[in-house]
């Protein structure tokens, strides 16, 4: 048994640490051994890795430490496990201020990645208090609970590290907002769906390459969005409106989008899509996915043909941020409880206005400005940033009769 001297101001405690192969009844056996010692339970931590259990129990120090130690050693021997009893002081409650969640997503996640991230946390004076796996397939995601770090400095250091390592890292304050219902507002083209609707329409009109060049420049922030949009829409003049139905039938929803919406709706979240695209597409998409609000531009259609004009004001960069604020007010959530997801320069105001702005497979200018970035080809890893694990998602789906493909062994 190792010992450390307690200070006069802190109570003496014992840390009992049990390790070995997990099986039913281990925890019950340990606490049965502690029952006759006249101690109080102060804290408990338990993890299982590949059926190997590590159980830590912090209890108040008894009058007869040797008797307690003998009891837990006998319990461990009966279980075929190892036990250590460490005598010291403190109740494990005095963690440093500056608490944050650092979520790491890798595909794959390598030891060198974790080493570098842990090193940057240490550079800020932060300490990793707890690590929890959020997912192992199709990405690996872990959540690190950190204390004692300056959040702004931590975010800046880890953003640089994420770019160098090729992994995604999000830093969020450890507060109640992470547990409450939020409003999630998403861009549509190349975010909620794969590809750009205006390019798909332009293909029907014979102008796909020309429109695609202008779209890419606008998303990089090199062109005024409204001017570029009106110029591209003019190229659609004369196109039969039935092309909208054909394009909608060809839309591919981003993998993981339905899982994300389905899971968060179960928790009371509200969803909105805000698009520089067209309401003839986005309204149908919102109805299909169970999204509560939708705002986009309306293509003018006269006598069954697209005229090449837009009805009303254009939903541009500022318009997206304004829509976010209006939806938040309607739902009744503070802006700090909003999440925005987008990929283009016209999403920047929306991402900056939200409590959590996520750049999803975004252009570099957007990644640099957002709170965090997700660069995997699935939307549901965003759930891990909100503290929801893959196991919880799959369990909820199983209860609803939704079968999840098994990961590779």
- Determine the Cα–Cα distance for residues 164 and 126; give it in Å rounded to an integer: 21
User: Residue 158: which of 109, 102, 112, 115 has the closest Cα?
Assistant: 102
Backbone angles phi, psi at 52, to 5 degrees: -100, 125
Is 189 annotated as catalytic? yes
**Residues making up the chain, counted from first to last:** 409
Out of 168, 187, 347, 349, the active site residue is 187
> What's the sign of the alpha-carbon dihedral 88, 94, 95, 96?
negative
Dump the DSSP string for 2-37.
EE-PPPTTS-EEEEEEEEEE--TTHHHHHHHHHHTT
Dump the DSSP string for 39-55.
--EEEEEEEEETTEEEE
Contact indicator for 328, 308 with CB cutoff of 8 Å:
no
Burial of residue 108 (CB within 10 Å: 0-12, 13-18, 19+) is exposed
Alpha-carbon radius of gyration of the chain:
27
- Determine the Cα–Cα distance for residues 142 and 136; give it in Å rounded to an integer: 9
Kind plus residue range of the DSSP H or E element containing 363: none
Extract the tokens encoding 140. 């690996």
Backbone angles phi, psi at 170, to 5 degrees: -120, 135
User: Residue 131: which of 123, 120, 141 has the closest Cα?
Assistant: 141
Cα 399-385-196 angle, rounded to 5 deg: 90
Alpha helices in 267-362 (DSSP H): 279-289, 317-331, 348-353
Note the maximum CA span of the chain. 92
Backbone angles phi, psi at 222, to 5 degrees: -85, -15
Out of 22, 143, 168, 189, the active site residue is 189
Q: Catalytic residue positions? A: 187, 189
């Amino acid at each position: 048994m190792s010992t450390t001297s307690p200070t006069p101001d802190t109570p003496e405690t014992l840390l009992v640490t049990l390790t070995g192969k997990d099986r039913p009844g281990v925890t019950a056996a340990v606490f049965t051994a502690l029952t006759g010692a006249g101690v109080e339970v102060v804290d408990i931590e338990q993890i299982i890795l590949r059926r190997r259990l590590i159980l830590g129990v912090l209890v108040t120090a008894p009058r007869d430490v040797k008797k307690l130690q003998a009891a837990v050693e006998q319990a461990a021997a009966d279980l075929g496990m190892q036990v250590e009893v460490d005598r010291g002081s403190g109740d494990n409650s005095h963690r440093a201020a500056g608490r944050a969640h650092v979520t790491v997503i890798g595909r794959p996640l390598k030891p060198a990645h974790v080493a570098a991230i842990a090193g940057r946390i240490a550079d800020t004076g932060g300490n990793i208090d707890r690590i929890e796996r959020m997912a192992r397939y199709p990405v690996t995601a872990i959540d690190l609970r950190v204390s004692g770090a300056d959040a702004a400095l931590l975010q800046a250091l880890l953003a640089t590290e994420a770019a160098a390592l090729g992994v995604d890292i999000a830093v969020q304050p450890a507060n109640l907002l992470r547990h409450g219902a939020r409003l999630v507002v998403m861009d549509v083209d190349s975010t909620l769906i794969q590809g750009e609707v205006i390019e798909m329409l332009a293909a029907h009109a014979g102008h796909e390459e020309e429109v695609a060049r202008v779209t890419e420049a606008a998303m990089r922030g090199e062109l005024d969005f409204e001017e570029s949009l009106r110029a591209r829409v003019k190229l659609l003049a004369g196109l039969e409106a039935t092309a909208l139905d054909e394009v909608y039938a060809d839309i591919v929803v981003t993998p993981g989008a339905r899982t994300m919406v389905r899971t968060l709706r179960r928790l009371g979240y509200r969803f909105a899509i805000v698009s520089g695209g067209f309401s003839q597409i986005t309204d149908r998409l919102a109805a299909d996915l169970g999204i509560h609000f939708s705002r986009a531009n309306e293509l003018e259609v006269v006598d069954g043909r697209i005229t090449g004009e837009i009805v009303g004001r254009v939903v541009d960069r500022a318009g997206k941020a304004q829509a976010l604020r209006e939806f938040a007010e309607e739902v009744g959530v503070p802006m700090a409880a909003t999440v925005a997801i987008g990929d283009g320069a016209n999403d920047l105001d929306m991402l900056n206005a939200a409590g959590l702005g996520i750049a999803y497979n975004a252009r570099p200018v957007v990644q640099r400005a957002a709170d965090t970035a997700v660069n995997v080809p699935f939307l549901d890893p965003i759930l891990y940033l909100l503290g929801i694990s893959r196991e919880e998602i799959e369990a909820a789906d199983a209860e609803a009769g939704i079968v999840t493909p098994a990961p590779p062994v």
